A and B are shown apart, each in its own frame.
Chain A
Amino acid sequence: MSADPLISVKNLKKHYNDGSIKALDDVSIDINKGEVVVIIGPSGSGKSTLLRSLNLLEIPTSGTILFDGTSVTDQKTDINKLRQRMGMVFQHFNLFPHLTILDNMTLGPRKLLKMPKAEAENNARELLKKVALEARAGDYPSQLSGGQKQRIAIVRALAMKPDVLLFDEPTSALDPEMVGEVLDVMKALAKDGMTMVVVTHEIGFAKEVGDRVVFMDNGKIVAEILPEEILKPTNNERLNTFLAKVL
């Protein structure tokens, strides 16, 4: 008997310009608790749109998304409550430049989870230790390198104690020498059992920590592969060309 999936997407469509652009064209996917699902695919294939639909940053044209049994798309759902449990990490970090690292991390827990200041700060410092940035608690984001910013963005999301983390190309804006430190944090999270949905071009990461790899093209999920199969030729020509390009 398998448990219900944490996230269940059914027949999701997202159209622009009255349907002339189909960013998502009938996408269905289940994501189970503790799973690391990696989404790959060429630019413009709808990866971001799918990921951002999960927490309703994009409002789908049709289809349903269930998160832990609750409909994300239902107008009666308090989306803000659901978003507290779905952390998101962006390509460009999006740290709050007017707040210190510590305040970046405690703003959500204090205002939304009503956590006492001392507790929120203790939690934040514990998380900072995990990414080896505890010395930077009082610094502002502008004082950090790209890799450090992204590590902070990850622990800022974690401070809300979410059930799932959504990553949209978390290493694409980084200098090559900083990619590793961010991927290491993500790998550690995966090992701890965090449910993760990761849009990335890092095939090595997909292979090493992914439970499933989903290939998108033209707004559709066109192939699902096991990580260990990622280097083997498939019967999908588009996937083969894509993999040949990114590898």
Chain B
Amino acid sequence: MFLLELSVKDWWQDLKDTFILNFITDDRYMYLVRGLGVTFAVTIGATLLGVLLGVIIALVRSTHDKNVHDMRPGVGRIILIILNKIANIYLTVIRGTPMVVQLMIAYFVIFVSVSQHKIFVAILAFGINSGAYVAEIIRSGIMSIDPGQFEAGRSLGFNYAQTMMYIIIPQAFKNVLPALANEFIVLIKETSVSGYIGLQDLTKGGDVIRSRTFTAFMPLIAVAIIYLVIVLFFTRLVGILERRLRNSER
């Protein structure tokens, strides 16, 4: 009885000591706080870039698929075909190679001249990657809009671009908003490989603590818990968003 009490007490003391060693001593918790800031900066920046790229790629692809067959031969048609080819190559390469490899190529090969701005490079790499997935989300959103909407716009006298901008894109965007929010959640986790280019995101922050304190359990579990809490929080938010959108349909 006494022995057991002692060992529980020991265990508790031990836990407290490692906690203090990993997070309090030298303000080590700041690695996680700063890392979390970096994780959010990269995720938000990449999401914005991804949506921008995704909309452009989606517009190129759906415009091509919808119109190229009955377009008059000419410069416009050739440009559209070339743009569509570029879009397809982009999608194939991005979706066919691992994110970490893309990140390292971005950092060590393509953006060497700005390599001191690691966050910037990471936003570009993750944004370009995310754009490929966002493009397909938006494209499915555009394709899901009733063709009658497009015809109604054109019959009023809107040209193709105006019809897209005022009528199709707003509806498509609304339809895929939950999917886009999920892409944001996926990105939060994906950016955990930022350490490969020496960027101190949340994961790397935990890893730095581990290398300082030579204890792995506390910092890594802490990192996992933080990711989990964030992901659960945003998943809840997406759920609420989905319900709101559904209700506004009626």
Which A residues contact B (CB, under 8 angstroms)? 55, 57, 59, 75, 80-84, 86-88, 90, 92, 94-98, 107-108, 111-112, 140, 142-143, 156-157, 160
Q: Is A87 within 8 A of B155, CB to CB?
A: yes
Cβ 8 A contact of B157, one of A75, A84, A96: A84
**Minimum distance in angstroms from A139 CB to a CB of chain B:** 12
Nearest CB to that of A112 among chain B residues? B157
Check if B149 sits within 8 Å of A94, measured CB to CB: yes
B152 contacts across to A, CB distance below 8 A? 88, 90, 94-96
**In the bound complex, do residue B146 and residue A83 qualify as a contact, i.e. CB atoms below 8 Å apart?**
no
Give the residue of A59, A80, A90 whose beta carbon is less than 8 angstroms from that of B148.
Answer: A90
B174 → A minimal CB distance (Å)? 6
Pick from B149, B158, B171: contact of A112, CB under 8 Å = B158
Contact B249–A142 (Cβ < 8 Å): yes
Residues of B within 8 A of A (CB): 70, 72, 146, 148-149, 151-159, 162, 166-167, 170-171, 174, 248-250
Q: How far is the CA of A96 from the CA of B170 in the complex (A)?
A: 10
Query: Are B159 and A57 interface neighbours, CB within 8 A?
Result: no
| Given A94-B151, A96-B149; 17 other pairs, CB 8 A cutoff | A59-B70, A75-B72, A81-B157, A83-B155, A83-B156, A87-B156, A88-B155, A90-B152, A92-B146, A94-B146, A96-B167, A98-B174, A111-B166, A112-B156, A112-B158, A156-B156, A160-B156
Alpha-carbon distance between A157 and B149 when the two chains are bound, in angstroms = 14
* Chain A hits for B146, CB < 8 A: 92, 94
Closest chain A residue, CB of each to CB of B149: A94
B72 to chain A, nearest CB (A): 7
Contacts of A156 in B (CB 8 A): 156
B222 CB, nearest partner CB in chain A, Å: 44
A89 CB to nearest B CB, Å: 9
The complex places the Cα of A143 from the Cα of B149 at a distance, in Å, of 18
In the assembled complex, the Cα of A203 lies from the Cα of B156 at a distance in Å of 28
Do residues A160 and B157 form an inter-chain contact, with CB atoms below 8 A? yes
A172 to chain B, nearest CB (A): 14
Closest residue on chain B to residue A89 by CB atoms: B155
Could you give 24 example pairs across A and B, Cβ below 8 Å?
A57-B154, A59-B70, A80-B157, A82-B157, A83-B154, A83-B155, A84-B156, A88-B152, A90-B152, A92-B148, A94-B148, A94-B151, A95-B152, A96-B153, A96-B171, A98-B170, A98-B174, A107-B156, A108-B157, A112-B156, A112-B158, A140-B248, A142-B249, A160-B156
